[in-house]
Amino acid sequence: MEPVSSFYIKTSPERFDAIVVGSGITGGWAAKELTERGLKTLMVERGRPVEHGVDYIGENKDPWVMPNRGKVDATVADEQYFNQKMCYAFDEHTQQFFNNDRDMPYSTPQGRPFSWIRGNQLGGKSLMWARQSYRWSDLDFEANLKDGHGVDWPIRYADLAPWYSHVERHVGISGSKENLAVLPDSEFLPAFDFNTVELALKKKFDAKYAPARMIMGRTANLRTPGETQLAQGRGQCQARSQCHRGCSFGAYFSTQSSTLPPAVATGRLRIATDSIVHSVIYDPKTNRATGVRVIDANTLEMREFHAKVVVLCASTLASTAILLNSKSEAFPNGLANSSGVLGHYLMDHLFGAGASGRVEGFENDYYQGRRPTGPYIPRFRNVMEKHEKFLRGYALSGGAGREGWTSAAWKPGFGKDFKAMIRKPGAWRFGLGGQGEMLPRFENMVSLHPTKKDKWGMPQLHIDCSYSDNDRKMQQDIADTAANILEDLGLKDIEKHIKSLEDWPPGLSIHEMGTARMGRDPKTSVLNGYNQAHDVPNLFVTDGAAMASCAWQNPSLTFMAMTARACAHAVDELKAGRI
Amino acid sequence: MNRGEQGPQEPSDAPHANALSSGARPAGSHAGRLYPENARRSALLRIGALCGLALSGDVLAAVTAPAGNGAPELLTRDELALTGVLAELIIPQTDTPGALAVGAHRTIDHLLKACVPKRDQADFRAGLARIEEAALAQGGKRFGALPQARQVALLHAIDNGAAPFKGTDQHFFRQLKSYVAFAYYTSEAGASKELAYLPFPGGYTGSIKVTRSTRTWAI
């Protein structure tokens, strides 16, 4: 295979079959699916190129060789990464993959912060994602219809199931078959192991809380690679838990490790990096998108690329921003926005609540390696019985580990005994934290700021999003329930925690979804069941913007399945001459 | 700039052109006063003796002048030296190097300057000042010049929040301990000689048995 670098272009006079905007989890999948189905495809990325392995500059660096031992320079963080620094994955090893907030500003209303975590480079956030991978079920796709919040999804689980399988076989999802109604099984590679304490707690939990169950978190890390992943040049997870620095083993799924190589191998992919999409070009005569206008990130020069199909995979908010900025006489409020709902129904997952405690005994048990996932309790709220206080539900995830030097330092003592105590593995602790579903609400929205612009002259996005009463009640229940579970499992010194809005504003969960939602009715939704704009048939949006609800599971696997399905549909429609 | 330096890796004959007084000077001396090289050296040897250390030239260099001209980045030289003495009392040399030998106080000085908010920097320095104040009030000497038994007794008091210390002092000491632990266990010796450091575990094993030689994972 030729190196990817030979496929970079700046300009092109040719008309492509398809343009994919963005190169993250969905952009990579769109490029792979479209090129493998025969389309000459251009991938447009606003950030710089990142070569697999070569550009993972924080990888394999011992703490003592880092200037700040892995900690971020406070001045740099405060002045340039004031939003990104809130992300758990942001540190001295990973800083290069996070956006500079000073250079890429957005606005929020006074008192309603939103933490937009972004990674603008080839590979996007696929380089820093948390890799948890879960199918959604009909409990999720029917939720809007049943309780009336949000529009009904135009698809059901059966529409996506074969596409889940399609992407899972390529990505490699480690997990265990469980036959749970709320959480369909994936096509699995072997799951990561529980440790001794987790196994003991799982037995207690499964017996007491059936049909709820504690399972191993399903993740796009290769505990044991399959033939398909080995053929991609990917290797086994080394359990370093340094995934966010980039993984040259390709042991987790990223654009660079998994979707880009096969797309490049077709010979039909071109990549334009440092190209900020200004807008989608629209031809009112044909009612078709004809390409994209881009701003050169370095020279500010404006260019155009042309294609028969445009697929937006720029990330939830960026794809919507592009549509909002693509104004014409036919679409004065943003392209494909005849419904007026473009920008509305922004969601993120509820986080920041849970409980932890001490586990007695097991002094002779330890573990080796840093597992990239942990025990997971799928949704049990509002499944069989209706909860009196809130709609929808949440998952709990966590794990058990022995205390080390970080917690010992906050205990009494110093000197030789203190040092000797730290040398021995400390007490076992086990914790659970929640991830809950946020309701889709019209008032949670993004728009283009009327006056503020960024340094490329693009209007800034104005993000107005807050939690509702339902969200807060669910957050409280997450903490209470987690604490009750720990008590039932026999833990000691149980502590509950709930983060305030200041500590965990919307956006920080990095599961932002909605703002160009799917739906059955063009009057109340932007996209149809194939992620195809109701208004403009050769325009697709296949990232998180398309989501009509946010479910309780991590969304990335669903983004992948939807993208593959939408792109297959686009190719069929193009070949049939319908778009 | 090599900000993650290890004390022992530095030359023992580093130039000390701008060396100021150490924390082990006699009570009542004036801050900023220049000490002759031999006096400074013997003062450091006394710190080492008080810490129960046979200080090598390398360790001396770690305490005094490891980076550039040897000036601390945030702390004064007195504060830096006191941090060094406290660090060694918290994580002393045993069958493995202690905090001083890995230059923990230098790392703390750098991280305070680079990564810690101004308010927390001020709290840290106020905490050091409280220890000096208590040492002078009780022992008539600065902390570094007290016999080790007195030093340990004062640290027990601050660790427990006992008189003359308060809850805020106790909190400072816990914070100091977390800084010392961070600087020590993220150093090469702290991570790989004192604890078990495995950068490439090769996979996750959920169950291994603890033996007499088992050590806590550094990361």
In tens digits, what is the pLDDT along chain B, a chain of 219 residues? 333 322 222 222 333 322 222 333 333 333 333 334 444 455 455 555 545 454 544 455 555 544 445 799 999 999 999 999 999 999 999 999 999 999 999 999 999 999 999 999 999 999 999 999 999 999 999 999 999 999 999 999 999 999 999 999 999 999 999 999 999 999 999 999 999 999 999 999 999 999 999 999 999
> CA-to-CA distance for A554 and A175, rounded, in angstroms?
15
> CA-to-CA distance for A439 and A470, rounded, in angstroms?
8
List CB contacts of A299: < 8 A, sequence separation 6 or more.
none
Q: Please, what is the end-to-end C-alpha distance for chain A in angstroms?
A: 33
Nearest CA-CA distance, residue B37 and chain A, Å = 30
Torsion (CA) A261, A267, A268, A271 in degrees, nearest 10: 60
Whether residue A350 contacts residue A492, with contact meaning beta carbons closer than 8 Å, is answered with no
Whether residue A353 contacts residue A497, with contact meaning beta carbons closer than 8 Å, is answered with yes
Residue A360 backbone phi and psi in degrees, to 5: -85, 150
Strands A428-436 and A302-312: unpaired
> CA-to-CA distance for B152 and B104, rounded, in angstroms?
19
Assess B114–A contact: CB distance below 8 Å, yes or no. Answer: yes
Amino acid at A351: F
Cis peptide before B97 (omega within 30 of 0): no
**Does residue B205 sit within a domain?**
no
> CA-to-CA distance for A248 and A258, rounded, in angstroms?
12
Kindly tell me the number of DSSP H helices and DSSP E strands found in chain A: 13, 18
Nearest CA in chain B to A427: B216
> CA-to-CA distance for B179 and A105, rounded, in angstroms?
34
pLDDT of residue B15: 30
Of B114, B201, B208, the CB nearest to A68: B114
Of A194, A238, A416, the CB nearest to B92: A416
Nearest CA in chain A to B161: A412
Contact A70 B6 (CB under 8 A): no
**Does residue B186 sit within a domain?**
yes
pLDDT of residue A501: 79
B81-91 burial, b at 16+ Cβ within 10 Å, e below that, comes to bbbbbbbbbbb
**Does residue B149 sit within a domain?**
yes
List CB contacts of A298: < 8 A, sequence separation 6 or more.
A274
Residues 18-57 (B) with a CB less than 8 A from some CB of A: none
Read off the tokens for A174: 């480690």
Q: Which long-range contacts (CB under 8 A, 24 or more apart) does A522-528 make?
A: A522/A338, A522/A339, A523/A338, A523/A339, A524/A151, A524/A339, A524/A341, A525/A151, A525/A154, A525/A339, A525/A341, A526/A323, A526/A336, A526/A337, A526/A339, A526/A341, A526/A342, A528/A154
Read off the tokens for A61: 């660096």
pLDDT of residue A531: 98
pLDDT of residue B69: 55
pLDDT of residue B63: 53
Its pTM stands at 0.91
Amino acid at A463: I
> CA-to-CA distance for A430 and A491, rounded, in angstroms?
8
Interface with chain A: mutation pick from B102, B113, B115, B175, highest number of A CBs within 10 Å: B115
- Orientation of helix B57-64 relative to helix B37-50, angle to 10°: 110
Q: Would you give the distance in Å from CA A561 to the centre of its chain?
A: 13
Rg (C-alpha) for chain B, rounded Å, is 18
Whether residue B73 contacts residue B110, with contact meaning beta carbons closer than 8 Å, is answered with yes
- From chain B, pick out residues whose CB is under 8 angstroms from the CB of A239: 201-204
> CA-to-CA distance for A19 and B130, rounded, in angstroms?
65
Amino acid at B70: G
Nearest CA-CA distance, residue A577 and chain B, Å = 50
Beta bridge partners of residue A395, listed in sequence order: A435
Cβ atoms within 10 Å of B33's Cβ, excluding its own: 9
Of A64, A365, A424, the CB nearest to B4: A64
Nearest CA-CA distance, residue B51 and chain A, Å = 10
Contact B203 A236 (CB under 8 A): yes
Average pLDDT per block of 10 residues along chain A, 579 residues long: 67 95 98 98 98 97 97 97 97 97 97 96 98 98 98 98 98 98 98 98 98 98 98 97 97 98 97 98 98 98 98 98 98 98 98 97 98 98 95 98 94 97 98 98 98 97 97 97 98 96 92 98 98 98 98 98 98 97
Contact B204 A405 (CB under 8 A): no
Q: Which long-range contacts (CB under 8 A, 24 or more apart) does A152-156 make?
A: A152/A519, A152/A520, A152/A548, A153/A518, A153/A519, A153/A529, A153/A548, A153/A549, A154/A518, A154/A519, A154/A520, A154/A525, A154/A528, A154/A529, A155/A518, A155/A529
Cα dihedral A184, A157, A322, A17 sign: positive
Whether residue A27 contacts residue A255, with contact meaning beta carbons closer than 8 Å, is answered with yes
Whether residue A269 contacts residue A120, with contact meaning beta carbons closer than 8 Å, is answered with no
Assess B188–A contact: CB distance below 8 Å, yes or no. Answer: yes
Residue A4's nearest CA partner among A385, A199, A182, A259 is A259
Nearest CA in chain A to B198: A369
Contact B186 A416 (CB under 8 A): no
Nearest CA-CA distance, residue A78 and chain B, Å = 10
**Does residue B97 sit within a domain?**
yes
Scanning chain B, the segments in alpha helix (DSSP H) are 37-50, 57-64, 77-90, 104-115, 118-139, 148-160, 167-185, 188-189
Amino acid at A427: A
> The domain containing residue B63 runs over which residues?
3-7+34-194
Residue A526's nearest CA partner among A279, A344, A307 is A344
**Does residue B215 sit within a domain?**
no
- From chain A, pick out residues whose CB is under 8 angstroms from the CB of B217: 368, 404, 425
**Does residue B137 sit within a domain?**
yes
Q: Is A328 exposed, middle or buried (0-12, 13-18, 19+ CB in 10 A)?
A: middle
Cβ atoms within 10 Å of A26's Cβ, excluding its own: 37
Nearest CA in chain B to A193: B206
- The torsion region of residue A362 among left (phi > 0), alpha (psi -120 to 50) and beta comes to left
Cα dihedral A468, A472, A478, A481 sign: negative
pLDDT of residue B70: 76
Assess B129–A contact: CB distance below 8 Å, yes or no. Answer: no
> CA-to-CA distance for A18 and A40, rounded, in angstroms?
6
> CA-to-CA distance for B162 and A372, rounded, in angstroms?
43
**Does residue B81 sit within a domain?**
yes
Q: Would you give the distance in Å from CA A316 to the centre of its chain?
A: 10
Contact B204 A62 (CB under 8 A): no
What's the DSSP call for residue B70?
-
Q: Would you give the distance in Å from CA B124 to the centre of its chain?
A: 13
pLDDT of residue B1: 30
CA atoms within 13 A on the CB side of B166: 4
Is ipTM beyond 0.90? yes
The CA–CA distances, whole Å, from A24 to A20, A43, A48, A263, A280 equal: 11, 11, 13, 14, 19
State the total domains in chain B: 1
